[in-house]
Chain A
Amino acid sequence: MHISEGVLSAPVLVTGAALTAAGCGIGLKKLDYDRVPQVAILTSAFFVVSLIHVPIGLFSVHLVLNGLMGLLLGWPAFPAILIALFLQALLFQFGGITSLGVNTFNMALPAIFCFYLFGYAVKGRNNLISMGSAFACGFLGILMASFMVAISLVFTGDPFWGIAKVVVIAHLPIMVIEGLITLFSAGFLRKLKPELLEVAHAKR
């Protein structure tokens, strides 16, 4: 998921950075005072979770959790993912500082998308629909992010479907695992702290 330094051309990097800046602006504006600790906890989770590799398939891929981030945070997922990716680039050399904007946008946009698409269904009354949506949320978060990576890489000259195929196939196991993780987390929160699923929707 992390695109390394020096792969993308300047226009792509600048566009990504600008879009991420805009997303972070909206995210910070929508961030309530009382929710800051929750955002911080999820940011740390996102930061650490990418160290967990899934040794299935041909490639080496890791957990991302962007679906869950979007589901629980809404727009503040943007600054949260930005900070987590910045620290990953700084401390682990994942991705890079120059490609930070693009990488953040690639992972945060699907998060926001999942939030709008599944947020209401997950917190709804119907158990089955809620579980299904939570799974779809985790699954789609990665699927979309894979396509975003492929789109960013198109400008390096490789054909889109070629890259998209590789990225999507490599992340298939992750999609399922993230779907399950999101399902369990959302189910857990619905039982124990349903208000956590509500807060992201509270201030629109």
Chain B
Amino acid sequence: MPKDSPLRKDRLSRTTLLSLMFLILILFASASHTLAHRVVVFAYVEGDMVYTESYFSDGKRCQHARIEVYDSLGNKLLEGKTDKRGEFSFKPPTRKDLRIVLTASMGHRDEYIIPESELPGGTEGRARGYEPHEAVGQVFPAEKGGEEETPSSQLTRLEMEQIRGVVEEALDEKLKPIMRLLVKQQKERVSFIGVIGGIGFIFGIMGIILYFKSRMVRKMEV
């Protein structure tokens, strides 16, 4: 019996170890799609409204959280609460940079800044943006030099403006999901590299502490 017991103990420990590792694996598997613990707010402009979305970064929406909007000088412009889907929308009262601050429960907070140029009616920025297109538009028919192109170049300025407006709108619509995804990805920065890097940091710090402690020990011995 005494000979048997260490073996049994060993086997027992191995199964415990395996089951523990299995547990950890399950935990990780279930966690893989729900990383990061903080709140995220992001906003986009559509028409003349600003839409904000708030969620915990594992995807759960922040319901009934407080949203405050400040201008660049720190004056509070307006305040509101998110709805059940974590959304909140408002009509921007100014055309300055807007700072949107989300305060959720348990001390969670995040900010998002909408630059002036994205706000509706920030026409100066857009008008400047048009010019290169205009230049291309004029060069384009000239290059082809075909007869069919001549009528198009004779389109009145007004019509061109209208087409541009429609195209702009359609593009905005098409690009919106991509923009949202980009903003989201920019804000969610938990990565595998971060995790591994963090563990590396900790062991690096351990090395430094061990180094100094070993020097102290050696000094005490001398």
Q: What is the interface of chain A, defined by CB distance below 8 A to chain B?
A: 1-8, 31, 33, 36-37, 39-40, 43-44, 47-48, 50-53, 55, 59-62, 83-84, 87-88, 91-95, 99, 149, 152-153, 156, 163, 166-167, 170, 184, 188, 191-192
The residues of A that contact B152 with a CB separation of less than 8 Å are: none
Q: Would you give 26 A-B contacts (Cβ < 8 Å), ordered by A?
A: A2-B37, A3-B106, A3-B107, A4-B107, A7-B107, A36-B206, A39-B206, A40-B202, A44-B203, A47-B199, A50-B37, A52-B28, A53-B35, A53-B58, A55-B60, A59-B56, A60-B34, A87-B198, A91-B198, A92-B36, A94-B38, A95-B38, A149-B106, A153-B106, A170-B106, A192-B13
| In the assembled complex, B12 has its CB within 8 A of some CB on chain A | yes
The residues of A that contact B190 with a CB separation of less than 8 Å are: 51, 91-92
Q: What is the interface of chain B, defined by CB distance below 8 A to chain A?
A: 9, 12-13, 16-17, 20, 23, 27-28, 30-31, 34-39, 56, 58, 60, 103, 105-111, 189-190, 194-195, 197-199, 201-203, 205-206, 209-210, 213-214, 217
Q: Is the CB of B106 within 8 A of A55?
A: no
Q: Is the CB of A167 within 8 A of B106?
A: yes
Shortest distance in angstroms between B101's beta carbon and chain A's nearest beta carbon?
Answer: 8
Q: Is the CB of B109 within 8 A of A40?
A: no
Shortest distance in angstroms between A127's beta carbon and chain B's nearest beta carbon?
Answer: 15
Extra inter-chain contacts (18) besides given A7-B109, A60-B34, A191-B13, CB under 8 Å: A3-B107, A3-B108, A6-B111, A33-B214, A36-B210, A47-B198, A53-B34, A53-B37, A59-B105, A60-B60, A87-B202, A93-B38, A93-B189, A94-B36, A94-B37, A152-B107, A166-B106, A188-B17
Shortest distance in angstroms between B191's beta carbon and chain A's nearest beta carbon?
Answer: 8
> Taking A33-B213, A93-B189 as contacts, is the C-beta distance between A83 and B202 under 8 angstroms?
yes
Shortest distance in angstroms between B195's beta carbon and chain A's nearest beta carbon?
Answer: 6
Give Cα A62 to B56, complex, Å.
Answer: 12
The residues of B that contact A62 with a CB separation of less than 8 Å are: 37
Give Cα A59 to B213, complex, Å.
Answer: 43
The residues of B that contact A149 with a CB separation of less than 8 Å are: 106-107
Pair count A-B, CB < 8 A: 131
In the A-B complex, the 5 residue pairs with the smallest Cβ-Cβ separation, listed nearest first, are A3-B107, A40-B206, A60-B56, A4-B109, A91-B194
Closest B residue to A6 using CB positions: B109
Shortest distance in angstroms between A175's beta carbon and chain B's nearest beta carbon?
Answer: 15
The residues of A that contact B103 with a CB separation of less than 8 Å are: 7
Give Cα A87 to B206, complex, Å.
Answer: 14
Shortest distance in angstroms between B220's beta carbon and chain A's nearest beta carbon?
Answer: 11
Q: Is the CB of B189 within 8 A of A36?
A: no
Q: Is the CB of B38 within 8 A of A33?
A: no
Q: Is the CB of B34 within 8 A of A55?
A: yes
Give Cα A61 to B39, complex, Å.
Answer: 11
Shortest distance in angstroms between B138's beta carbon and chain A's nearest beta carbon?
Answer: 47
Q: Is the CB of B202 within 8 A of A44?
A: yes
Give Cα A50 to B28, complex, Å.
Answer: 11
Give Cα A184 to B136, complex, Å.
Answer: 70
Closest B residue to A193 using CB positions: B13
